[in-house]
Chains A and B, each alone.
Chain A
Amino acid sequence: MNKEILKYKSSIETLNVVGGKINSVRYTDETKNTVRVYDDGKIGVAGRLGECNLTELETEAEENLKTQGIPYAFVQGKKVQKKVTRRRACDPAKLLKAGKSLMAKTSKECQGFLIGGKIECGELSGEYKNSAGSELSYESSYFSVDLSLKDKQSSNIMDAFYSAVFPLYGKNAADTVVSDIKMFHDAYFAEKKTIETGEYNVIFDRYDLLGLIFNHLIAESYVGGGSIFGGKLNQRVFSEKLSVYGDRNPSTNYGTAFYDAEGTVMPDYRSPIIVNGVLKGLLANKNSASLYGVPYCGTSNAAYDGVPSVGITGVYVKPSGATLAEITKDEPAIYVSVTSGGDMTTDGVVGLPVMLAFLVKNGKMICRVKEFNASGNIFDLLGKDLIAVTADNLFKGVGSGMIATRMKLFVE
């Protein structure tokens, strides 16, 4: 009988921001334990919150294996022994003071916005062991801000968002948050420009367009005919400038384990999904990869008491070379900041109602433009019309690059 033991601990302190001030502090400590056993093509799982007796948990998992009869293709991975640690992001005892100071400064610099949301400091650790001798462990930490920005004159619930994650809280992180939101604020309140219906260079945050395709990358959707990528594994689907990875690399995705839920450690801690425009991987666990004969690239996810499912904890998009300043030097671009309820048809046609967008010139946000609808086919937007995956971001607190493409905008 093969066995896996997982442990996860988190200690998170969260500040709630209302109207630019901290109105609450939340402390959450959690410990989760998992034992999985595999035998005769079946899996048994048991999980418990809090400290617990692992021997009892193992007995429960064995019992579940016998009684529940859940088929699962167990694939023994390579024996890996590795530990990754990083220094603490923030002293929890100082977070409240730091958060108050950060919000006071940001509100002072950005007087047109009412700021709400969360400031968080998390310390996470985990262990994975299996009966083949693999032993993996990590200690990780992050400081994050996840804020809504509301124009004091608008009747909307909120008008814009700002999110950033840092490996460490200090003066640099605080200055970055303030200067990012100040840049956003100044462009927001500059005189709004009208644009005409037509084709434009358009800049997106990585999740806006890629978020539309993730469901189509799930192995079950792919083999079941419910994916726009059906039959295209190992074929070129997008521009060779585009490479997309599931990201467990601690240098770019803070606060995550470097291994997946089944103890798989990928080269460079990243799961290759699209490499130079070629569809190389799908979202699968060891069972679905084996069942459907698709590649397994470390994209297993699991609840602490559940059979492994699939998922990625972050996305890394490899820069293709150009910077925002370079691609907006000769022709300004439109940065799509907030969309509302966009969708993609089964043949890949994307419709995005854009609520907030900005004109970008020489790599800088200049001013808002009027609301519009953006449209295009995903295979063109990330294919022949893809301009670049930039090395930089409009916001310094957001580590990843941005996706620039050519797109038709319809202005009412």
Chain B
Amino acid sequence: MYRFNDGFYSDVRTEDRYTTRISYVNGQKRECKVRAEKRAFIRVFDGKTWFYASTTDLNDIQHELDKLYANAKRNPKIASNRMVRRFEVNSDVVMQFAPISVRNVSIAKKEELLSDYLKELDKFAAKMPSGVYLDRNSVFEFRSSKGSYIKYDYQTCGFVLSCTFLTEKDYFMAHYQQGETEFDKLLGKKAAIKREFAKQRDYAMNAKEIVPGNYPVILSPEAAGVFAHESFGHKSEADFMLADEGIAKEWTIGKTVASPLLSIVDSGKVKGCGYCPYDDEGTRARKNYLIKNGVLTGRLHDGETATYLKEKLTGNARAIGCNYEPIVRMTTTYIEKGALSKEELFAGVRHGYYIESVKHGSGMSKFTIAPSVAYEIIDGKICDPVKISVISGDVFTTLGLIDGLSDKVELLSFVSGGCGKMEQSGLPVGFGGPYVRVSEMFVQ
């Protein structure tokens, strides 16, 4: 298909991406867009430097490849390069969405779905009801000079609804998001939408102030997922260890970093928005433990970081599209389940707070999570809604303070937003976990 020159490692990744975006604001249709884009990303490695090119003309790939060869230096020993040797050679076709592709669902059906659900918001007399339907179906192909050929597809679809609830002195932005991998699974959600907006309206009308301080906190699967992603997932991306021998020594595999109850996993095999059966270097997805029973067990790699740290590839070289090179990213990151029922977990809190949903979170040495909806817990029961601006703490101290996990994992999938790292933002990732109890967090 392509002429790969000797003396270089090369690969070509193409994406045929179909997307739909339909939006309404305050009863007015704002957008109804179907986009079909084809792009290619071409990589050439000469043993020292990577050369990349991106093109939207798939007939021009060989020309772009040849231009990169002209910029790189031929290396007769490239096949024995440690990183090149590490790259997997896979031959596989994984097309699981073709029979249920959103490409085959009519625009009228997608519009009808969104319009129907927006009607539910009208019942709440809220301000500025808005909704957006989004879908994506991508077909990826990957070919390498080592002989890989991989073809797989990816699909997400869903909707986001929002409105503003006005109170006497304040306002609250209510949201509901449903992400799936199959259009038909988006049907029949009216009751859930009604229930969710009723709950958020109640929250808006009744949320009370709290006294800032240290309290026991229970994180919902959504909040636990944000915590796992922000506080530890990013620290597991091994590219921050490149050329930094000091930090590699500090992050030694086998070191105790958390409560023995805690295990955190990242896996591209999970069906959802973080699904990535092969990464953008052609590495097959696998289940990677980052923490197992409180002990640092693994980290996330691309070819370069795995080679530098002399570890195995993990399938985490990802790019947001064929206009960027793959870098180390998460896929679906989650906390594994524990042994307690949800009721037993809550029963262990005399006075604390329950974080149900999250606006945003971030984490360096300290983490902060800004809750959207939160409740007070008294004697193990969820009580009044409360206004919490942020919960925060030292990452490693908090990981050590986890003292209970519920016995079911909920994994969340999304259609909007995504993870940002350096210049590449909006990468679809999944996350989740069980309900997680932390004996003490700073709540304000």
CB within 8 Å of B: which residues of A? Answer: 16, 18-31, 45, 47, 49-50, 68-71, 114, 116-118, 146, 148, 150, 152-158, 220-221, 223-226, 291, 303, 305-307, 338, 340-343, 345-347, 349, 351, 353, 355, 371
Contacts and interface: CB of A to CB of B under 8 A. Distances in A.
A345 to B, nearest CB: 6
A118 B150 CA distance: 30
The winner among A18, A71, A118, A347 for most chain B CB atoms within 10 A is A18
Interface in B1-59: 21, 25-26, 28-33, 35, 37, 39, 49-57
A190 B164 CA distance: 49
Interface stretch (B112-120, B217-225, B237-245, B403-411): B237-245
B246 interface: yes
B362 A30 contact: no
B191 to A, nearest CB: 26
Contacts, number: 160
B365 interface: yes
B127 A224 contact: yes
Interface stretch (B170-178, B346-354, B374-382): B170-178
B73 interface: no
28 contacts: A22-B49, A24-B50, A25-B71, A26-B325, A27-B54, A45-B33, A114-B244, A146-B422, A150-B244, A155-B250, A155-B365, A156-B364, A157-B237, A220-B128, A224-B164, A225-B127, A226-B127, A307-B30, A307-B31, A338-B364, A340-B363, A341-B361, A341-B370, A346-B170, A351-B390, A353-B368, A353-B390, A355-B366
A220 B363 CA distance: 31
A37 to B, nearest CB: 15
B235 A226 contact: no
Given A28-B53, A355-B365, A355-B366, A347 B29 contact: no
**In the complex, the 3 A-B pairs of residues with the closest C-beta atoms, listed nearest first:** A19-B243, A224-B128, A341-B368
B243 A353 contact: no
Nearest to B242: A18
A70 B30 contact: yes
Contacts of B256: none
B148 interface: no
B389 interface: yes
Interface string B317-331: 000000111000000
A230 to B, nearest CB: 8
A19 B361 CA distance: 28
A101 to B, nearest CB: 15
B323 A70 contact: no
B30 A355 contact: no
A343 B364 contact: no
B302 to A, nearest CB: 12
Nearest to B444: A351
Given A340-B367, A341-B367, A347-B169, 15 more contacts: A16-B325, A28-B53, A70-B29, A146-B423, A154-B247, A156-B365, A157-B235, A157-B237, A220-B128, A340-B364, A341-B362, A341-B368, A343-B370, A345-B387, A353-B390
Nearest to A356: B364
A224 B174 CA distance: 13
Contacts of A116: 242
Nearest to A19: B243
A363 to B, nearest CB: 28
Contacts of A70: 29-32
Nearest to A31: B56
A220 B25 contact: yes
B369 interface: yes
A158 B55 contact: no
A305 B56 CA distance: 15
Contact of A117 (B67, B169, B172, B422): B422
A225 B166 contact: yes
Nearest to B396: A155
A344 to B, nearest CB: 9
Contacts of B369: 341
Given A25-B71, A26-B53, A152 B246 contact: yes
A353 B370 contact: no
Contact of B234 (A24, A157, A307): A157
Given A19-B242, A153-B246, A68 B390 contact: no
